[in-house]
């Protein structure tokens, strides 16, 4: 059996007529209003229990309705619990944090347009080799002083619901891995700030407190993120099926495919198509509503 979870972010509300319409064609055995999430974005959520149609039928009919009404939805197995999982894996840029840090470094260095263009092409999957795209962007940052990174970090904000999701995961016994093609300069600060258990990221090379335009060691690309997930699962003694992976770009697809549950967060269409479910209007802690107590 499967449940259908519907969610909207404030100031929108779950319209009773819309829920009735969706229930008419999904034929649930009952409706369950979920408690409002205590977060900075606010939400309303409802679980349509034991839908009576094939999950693939629901998945084909719901996207158009969701786009029209500003709705997030997910078809999930009945009885799914957060505590069934052992690892939460988060991408950093535009997933955990509300910016692309390398683009912001480019903006502060006067290279935003050139770097953002490469970032967008890479996130859409148009540049197949993420490592190459990163090297090209880093080269544009050669000579950037550390003060610029400090300025960018001062403007860095977590995406809505990030702290609530991490807290819920930890309360349920999960470890948290931040796996990113971004940089340890930022992840070390986020790890301390959020008490993250593990981090996989790229290390910047410095010379006289300025970026050289190069990274040290192997680049953490799509396969690097996947391997970080697999290695962490091995380290904590769980299977990849017990991992939840959340990301937004093409370089997250490999780790999302390896995980037992994947969530596309405000993501590119190709990522949404590949993920178990997607969030397009709600914050990160809306992931909690996919699970039963």
CA dihedral angle for residue 241, residue 242, residue 247, residue 252, rounded to 10 degrees: -40
* Burial grade of 52 (CB within 10 A; 0-12, 13-18, 19 or more): middle
Q: Would you say 50 and 3 are in contact if contact means Cβ atoms under 8 Å apart?
A: yes
Residue 222: its H or E element:
helix 222-236
How far apart (Å, rounded) are the C-alpha atoms in residues 27 and 71? 19
Active site residues: 91, 93
CB atoms within 10 A of CB 116: 17
Q: Are 233 and 224 in contact (CB under 8 A)?
A: no
Work out the number of other CB atoms within 10 angstroms of the CB of residue 6: 25
DSSP 144: -
């Amino acid at each position: 059996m499967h449940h259908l979870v519907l969610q909207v972010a404030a100031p929108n509300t779950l319209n009773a007529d819309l829920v009735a319409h969706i229930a008419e064609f999904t034929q649930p055995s009952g409706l369950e209003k979920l408690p409002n999430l205590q977060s900075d974005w606010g939400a309303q959520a409802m679980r349509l229990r034991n839908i009576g149609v094939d999950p693939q039928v629901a998945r084909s009919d719901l996207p158009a309705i969701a786009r029209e009404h500003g709705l997030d939805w997910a078809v999930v197995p009945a009885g799914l619990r957060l505590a069934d999982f052992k690892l939460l894996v988060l991408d950093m840029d535009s997933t955990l944090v509300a910016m692309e840090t390398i683009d912001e470094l480019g903006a502060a260095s006067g290279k935003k347009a050139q770097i953002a263009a490469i970032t967008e092409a890479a996130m859409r999957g148009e540049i197949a080799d993420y490592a190459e795209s990163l090297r090209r962007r880093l080269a544009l940052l050669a000579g950037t002083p550390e003060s610029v990174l400090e300025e960018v970090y001062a403007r860095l904000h977590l995406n809505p619901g990030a702290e609530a999701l991490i807290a819920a995961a930890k309360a349920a016994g999960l470890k948290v891995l931040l796996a990113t093609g971004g940089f340890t300069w930022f992840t070390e600060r986020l790890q301390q700030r959020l008490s993250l258990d593990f981090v996989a990221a790229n290390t910047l090379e410095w010379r006289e407190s300025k970026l050289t335009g190069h990274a040290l060691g192997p680049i953490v690309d799509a396969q690097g993120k996947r391997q970080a997930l697999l290695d962490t699962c091995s380290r904590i003694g769980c299977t990849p099926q017990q991992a939840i992976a959340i990301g937004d770009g093409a370089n997250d697809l490999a780790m999302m495919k390896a995980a037992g549950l994947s969530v596309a967060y405000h993501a590119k269409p190709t990522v949404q198509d590949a993920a178990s479910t997607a969030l397009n209007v709600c914050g990160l802690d809306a992931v909690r509503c996919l699970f039963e107590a």
